[in-house]
Amino acid sequence: MKIGITGGIGSGKTFICQLFKAMTVPVYNADDEAKELMNSDLRIKARLIAEFGEETYKDGKLDRAFLAEQIFSDKAKLELVNSIVHPVVIQAAKDWAEQQKSRYSLKEAALLFESGSYKDLDYTILVTAPLPIRVKRVMERDAVTEEQVMERINKQLSDEEKLKLADFVIINDGTTPLLPQVWTLHQKFLK
């Protein structure tokens, strides 16, 4: 079985994935893989250079700051980058999942619903947390302002929209125990 796990920035989905990993569940991190593929996949590199110029890469490595500057306030350019990168990452995730020998694997992706890749999965898990907690976590983790965090949050689907598409929910509000929620889902997926 292929299970997707997502959540808004600061929801704690990466920490939840670490709990699943501790139970020997293989986890594919789509966001990390996208960063890797943007540096290693020749199709992605060629298209990004064609669209944004040679300065997109320095010494063969993606200039993330340059690309971010190009797409920061231009939704069409952001969608263009996503249309270049997402199909390659989605295929890489499918190939990875096919190689797994466990009863199920997880695909962690911030844009699981936005990219449409959830349609290729058996189930989806949404990790939720109250907005003030998410904002605080990201401010502390990334040393950014509240305004910068809200800009990122506003570019993602809301939890309300994601709830309509999710099969399961893990609440990561700092008070609801996480391990019982993860363990319950783990047992369900093993069956």
pLDDT of residue 74: 85
Please tell me whether residues 179 and 116 are part of one structural domain.
yes
Q: Which residues pair with 5 in a beta bridge?
A: 108, 125
152: pLDDT strictly greater than 90: no
- 110 and 39 share one domain: no
3-state helix, strand, coil in the chain (%, to 5): 60, 15, 25
Query: Mind listing the pLDDT tens digit for each residue in 18-42?
Result: 999 999 999 999 999 999 999 999 9
The CA distance from 148 to 155, in Å, is 11
14 known ligand binder: yes
Residue 11 known to bind ligand: yes
CB atoms within 10 A of CB 94: 15
Whether the per-residue pLDDT at 129 is higher than 80: the answer is: yes
**Which of 81, 99, 117 lies at the terminal end of a domain, its last residue?**
99
Closest CA to 170 of 191, 185, 153: 185
pLDDT of residue 50: 96
Verify that 12 and 57 share a domain, yes or no.
no
- If you average pLDDT over every residue of the chain, what do you get? 94
100 falls in which pLDDT band (50, 70, 90)?
Answer: very high
> Containing domain of residue 64, as a range?
32-99
- Tell whether residue 13 is among the known ligand binding residues: yes
Q: How many domains does the chain have?
A: 2
For residue 13, give the CATH number of its domain. Answer: 3.40.50.300
Q: How does residue 115 score in pLDDT terms, banded at 50, 70 and 90? A: confident
DSSP letter (8 states) at residue 174: S
Please indicate, yes or no, whether residues 57 and 70 belong to a single structural domain of this protein: yes
Question: In the structure, what pLDDT confidence band is assigned to residue 72 with cuts at 50, 70 and 90?
Answer: confident
**For residues 55-63, average pLDDT:** 94
According to the annotation, is 15 in a ligand binding site?
Answer: yes
**φ, ψ of residue 70 in degrees (nearest 5):** -70, -35
Out of 99, 130, 149, pick the residue that ends a domain: 99
